[in-house]
Amino acid sequence: MRFAAALLVVVFHLSAVAPGLGDVGRLAAAGYVGVTFFFVLSGFVLTYSWDIDATAARFYRRRFARIYPMHLLFVALAMLPWTGAPNWGALPANLTLVQAWSPDDAVVRSFSGVSWSLSCEFFFYAAFPFLVRLLWLRVRRPLVVGGVSIGLAYVVGVAVQRHDPEWGAWLFHLPAFRMVEFVAGSLAAMALTRGWVPRLRVRWAAVFVVVSYLGVLLLPVAIGYRFEDRWALSLAMVPSLVMLIAANARVDLVGAPSPLQGRTLVSLGQWSFCVYMAHPLVMGLTQPLLASRGVYGSLLGCALVILAVVGVSFALHVLVERPFERRLRGSGDSRLSGSAIEDAPEESLSLAPGRSAIASS
């Protein structure tokens, strides 16, 4: 699922630069909601795998090791002469991953343009050890609280956008606002650990996601597309994504078979972070492949670019992401091993002690 979400973002960006795609390319016009999936998933799996006795310092070290080496690599690559003149004034904000707080889009998307979402994640990670304890102790009905949080976010968003329409574009990448999606995933994980059983089968949850996506895709056409409305459309995807993630989690917990458990798909999921980070640079280097004015030529060019992105991502995962994460975590981190699932423990699920009630249900 992580690879599918990353691929959705890739196709979204391809549709903006491949002139020959035409109506086919418009199907990817809402591909930015792939980032919403990652925000919800982060809240879900971090909460589910959280050890209440773990120290915040250890958590921060793991998360720093997980995202910062790749971020720093692409910031450095953006400084090379052939990538264009970088916005040097935004370098400190990028190095400290606070660029998404700026209302200036030139700062938010400077250097590694897709790292604005890492800036959001960095804020989520900073708050998480405190947030998870607060939610665990105070929240009795996680799903109700999650739904209310999304509703309140809409109220705040509408009020902010009415005050100044341009602020709607800021809400799309503002970490404090996007945290609602992270919290929704966290609350769903809490509900699952307390015995909630998703009523939807995986196939119907997937249909729910597709229908929601089509709604997000077609609604702007009906009411008139506005860039500043993307925050609202992203929030609209949260309920269906929560159901999809929870339904698949239950499949894992009860030990049921799933086509997503194959080695190839698990590996693609492991490479998904590199896919997300590397695809703008690879697209820039393979731009001639996207120059066709015909639909079939454009589709072929996009397919070749996607293959190049996947190949580069595999190399980055093996040569950069994985070894640097291991080194920064330290050899004493017991959650590191050679298995595919344990390689990225916060992005995987395991049946932790004390949670057998979920499996039995």
In this prediction, residue 223 has a pLDDT band, given cuts at 50, 70 and 90, of confident
Q: Is residue 282's pLDDT more than 60?
A: yes
At 330-357, the pLDDT tens digits run: 766 655 433 333 333 344 344 343 343 3
Please compute Rg for the chain using Cα positions.
20
Closest among 328, 329, 289, 333 to 308, alpha carbons compared = 289
Top mean-pLDDT range of 32-36, 283-287, 289-293: 32-36
Residue 323 lies in a domain: no
Map the chain to HEC letters.
CHHHHHHHHHHHHHHHHCCCCCHHHHCCCCCCHHHHHHHHHHHHHHHHCCCCCCCHHHHHHHHHHHHHHHHHHHHHHCCCHHHCCCCHHHHHHHHCCCHHHCCCHHHHCCCCHHHHHHHHHHHHHHHHHHHHHHHHHHCCCHHHHHHHHHHHHHHHHHHHHHHCCCHHHHHHHCHHHHHHHHHHHHHHHHHHHCCCCCCCCHHHHHHHHHHHHHHHHHHHHHHCCCHHHHHHHHHHCHHHHHHHHHHHHHHHHCCCCCHHHCHHHHHHHHCHHHHHHHHHHHHHHCHHHHCCCCHHHHHHHHHHHHHHHHHHHHHHHHHHHHHHHHHHHCCCCCCCCCCCCCCCHHHCCCCCCCCHHHHHC
Residue 267 domain-assigned?
no
Does the pLDDT at position 235 exceed 70?
Answer: yes
In-domain check, residue 3 = no
**Is 315 among the domain residues?**
no
Do 14 and 283 touch, CB atoms closer than 8 A? yes
Average pLDDT, the chain: 88
Q: How confident is the model at residue 228 (pLDDT cuts 50, 70, 90)?
A: confident
The residue with greater pLDDT, 361 or 145, is 145
In a domain, 270, yes or no: no
**Token pair for 37:** 């999936």
Give the position of tokens 């919290």.
183
22 pLDDT band (50/70/90 cuts)?
confident
pTM: 0.91
Other beta carbons within 10 Å of 104: 14
- Cβ contacts of 43 within 8 Å, gap of 6 or more: 124, 181, 182, 183, 184, 185, 186, 187, 188, 189
Domain membership flag for residue 211: yes
Cα–Cα distances (Å) from 166 to 107, 217, 234, 239, 279, in that order, read 16, 21, 17, 26, 28
pLDDT per residue as tens digits for the range 102-158: 999 999 999 999 999 999 999 999 999 999 989 988 999 999 999 999 999 999 999
Q: Is residue 36 part of a domain?
A: yes
Confidence of residue 244 (pLDDT cuts 50, 70, 90): very high
Does residue 12 lie within any of the structural domains? no
Number of structural domains in the chain: 1
Angle at 220 between CA 216 and CA 225, to 5 degrees: 135
Residue 159 is part of which domain span? 32-261+331-360
Number of other residues whose CB lies within 10 A of the CB of residue 34 = 22
